[in-house]
């Protein structure tokens, strides 16, 4: 199969001259390179998951029989093959390596003017020389290996925080005792209820039978990459407090920020739930009646409280409530759902059925 590559000449302006945009995530550059190599993406390699990137993801998902949500989750990245992983910051990379993280590395080096080559996600001699030049400029050992220190100096954004991929634990088998619940079993093994339910193809809302055997996957640490424990705990807590479907809340949070509490949009929306200052004030003054701390938990509380209010305003219509969350309730009533909102609602609902 003919290997597709991206020429430096065609992309130098996008890589070196454009300032960092809101929603910038270097990991997205690896995705864009992978989609380009699959012949689906022709936009700039800029680390911003805009409409062109999401459209390419959806086309890829449709071709591979995946849920079409425009998100590059674990299943979509797995379908990308060797180009879909691992993420930058999960391993040391050196000459001879290839994959998603090498593409991100080349992108980061190119933004600094150190990599005048092709973004092909393959760590060859040219990439090694660029890494050594960067290490020299930072006073590091010039070994050409991107380990913890080199990676952190290349990218200090939360998306790049060094998280070495954990070793997979072997799958264990648990025999259900009388009176046991999936919640109790999940706490015992440190694996989410949903992970256990998926591994055994059972409905987590139904009663489990004593004496049956459950496969306990060793996926809790691996899932932390896409579902950080602190964020997931806050989402589940506040969805329970406000009586909103936890799956819906998780899907909204993933669509809005990718569970990134440091994200700030052009409109000033902040955190996991991408709450604007106006919405925050409204929730504090009208819905809650007290100040809410500007913490991760506070951000989730405001977002969930606002979503519950929208569900009430639209008579429990989840589709219209989601539209109001992203487009604004007044705009939904006067204009109806615009195309971008329709795509957003469809994506959130699709994700909520499997998250």
CATH of residue 42's domain is 1.10.101.10
- The pLDDT assigned to 227 comes to 41
Does some domain include residue 74?
A: yes
C-alpha closest to that of 5 among 31, 29, 39, 49: 39
pLDDT value at position 226? 37
Burial 46-82 (b: 16+ CB within 10 A, else e): bbbbeebbbbbbbbbbeeeebbbbbbbbeebbebbee
Residue 125 lies in a domain: yes
CA dist 306 and 314 (Å) reads 12
Query: Under a CB-based contact definition with an 8 Å cutoff, are residues 277 and 246 in contact?
Result: no
The pLDDT of residue 190 is 66
- 53 inside domain: yes
* Alpha-carbon gap, residue 347 to 228, rounded angstroms: 21
Quick one: 205 and 258 in the same domain? no
Q: Check if the beta carbon of residue 251 is closer than 8 Å to that of residue 344.
A: no
Residue 25 lies in a domain: yes
For the chain, 355 residues long, the average pLDDT of each consecutive 10-residue run is: 39 37 78 92 89 92 85 83 86 92 94 88 93 93 92 82 57 76 74 78 77 69 43 88 93 85 80 92 90 90 96 95 94 91 88 80
Query: Are 239 and 204 within one domain?
Result: no
Judge whether 2 lies within some domain.
no
Question: 240 and 205, same structural domain?
Answer: no
In a domain, 3, yes or no: no
Structural domain range at position 198: 169-223
Choosing from 160, 177, 204, the residue where a domain stops is: 160
Q: Tell me how far apart the alpha carbons of residues 235 and 280 are, in angstroms, rounded to a whole number.
A: 17
Whether residues 14 and 122 share a domain: the answer is: yes
Any domain includes 142: yes
Going from the C-alpha of 200 to that of each of 46, 97, 179, 193, 214, the distances in angstroms are 40, 35, 19, 11, 6
Tokens standing for residue 260: 């990134």
How far apart CA 236 and CA 243 sit, in angstroms, is 10
Asked if residue 239 and residue 133 are part of one domain, the reply reads no
Q: What pLDDT does 248 receive?
A: 95
- Give the list of residues 6+ apart from residue 195 with CB closer than 8 angstroms, or none: 186, 217, 219, 220, 223
Considering only CA atoms, which of 11, 69, 66, 67 is closest in space to residue 36?
A: 11
214 and 256 part of one domain: no
> Is there a single domain that holds both residue 141 and residue 53?
yes
Asked if residue 318 and residue 192 are part of one domain, the reply reads no
How many domains is the chain partitioned into structurally?
3
328 and 268 in a single domain? The answer is yes
> What is the domain-level CATH number for residue 284?
1.10.530.10
- 107, 133, 160 - which closes a domain: 160
Catalytic residues: 256
Do 13 and 156 share a structural domain? yes
Phi/psi of residue 216, nearest 5 degrees: -105, 105
DSSP lists the bridge partners of residue 69 as none
User: pLDDT at position 170, please?
Assistant: 54
- Measure the CA–CA gap between 100 and 140, rounded to whole angstroms: 24
Domain assignment present for 65: yes
One-character DSSP codes across 33-64: HHHHHTT---S---S---HHHHHHHHHHHHHT
Residue 223: predicted pLDDT: 34
The H or E element spanning position 217 is strand 213-218
Together in a domain, 119 and 180: no
Residue 167: what pLDDT?
53
pLDDT at 201: 80
Q: Are residues 210 and 236 in the same domain?
A: no
Q: Whole-model pTM? A: 0.47
């Amino acid at each position: 199969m003919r290997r597709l590559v991206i020429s430096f000449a065609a992309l130098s302006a996008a890589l070196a001259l454009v300032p960092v945009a809101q929603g910038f995530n270097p990991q997205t550059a690896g995705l864009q390179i992978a989609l380009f190599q699959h012949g689906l993406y022709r936009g700039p390699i800029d680390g911003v998951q805009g409409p062109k990137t999401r459209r390419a993801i959806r086309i890829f998902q449709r071709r591979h029989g995946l849920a079409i949500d425009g998100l590059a989750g674990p299943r979509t990245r797995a379908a990308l093959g060797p180009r879909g992983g691992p993420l930058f910051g999960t391993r040391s990379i050196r000459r001879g390596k290839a994959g998603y993280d090498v593409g991100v590395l080349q992108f980061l080096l190119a933004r600094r003017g150190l990599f005048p080559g092709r973004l092909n996600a393959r760590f060859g001699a040219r990439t090694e020389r660029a890494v050594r030049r960067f290490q020299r400029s930072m006073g590091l050992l010039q070994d050409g290996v991107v380990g913890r220190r080199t990676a952190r100096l290349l990218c200090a954004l939360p998306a790049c925080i060094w998280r070495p991929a954990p070793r997979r634990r072997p799958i264990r088998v648990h025999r259900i005792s009388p009176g046991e619940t999936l919640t109790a079993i999940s706490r015992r093994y440190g694996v989410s209820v949903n992970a256990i339910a998926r591994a055994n193809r059972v409905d987590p809302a139904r009663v489990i039978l004593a004496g049956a055997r459950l496969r306990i996957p060793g996926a809790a640490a691996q899932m932390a990459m896409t579902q950080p424990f602190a964020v997931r705990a806050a989402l589940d807590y506040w969805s329970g407090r406000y009586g909103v479907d936890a799956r819906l809340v998780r899907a909204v949070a993933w669509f809005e920020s990718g569970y990134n509490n440091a994200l700030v949009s052009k409109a000033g929306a902040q955190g996991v739930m991408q709450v604007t200052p106006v919405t925050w004030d409204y929730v504090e003054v009208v819905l809650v009646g007290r100040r809410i701390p500007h913490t991760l938990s506070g951000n989730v509380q405001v977002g969930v409280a606002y979503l519950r209010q929208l569900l009430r305003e639209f008579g429990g219509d989840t589709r219209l409530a989601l539209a109001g969350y992203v487009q604004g309730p007044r705009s939904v009533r006067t204009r109806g759902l615009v195309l971008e909102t329709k795509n957003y609602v469809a994506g959130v609902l699709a994700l909520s059925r499997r998250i």
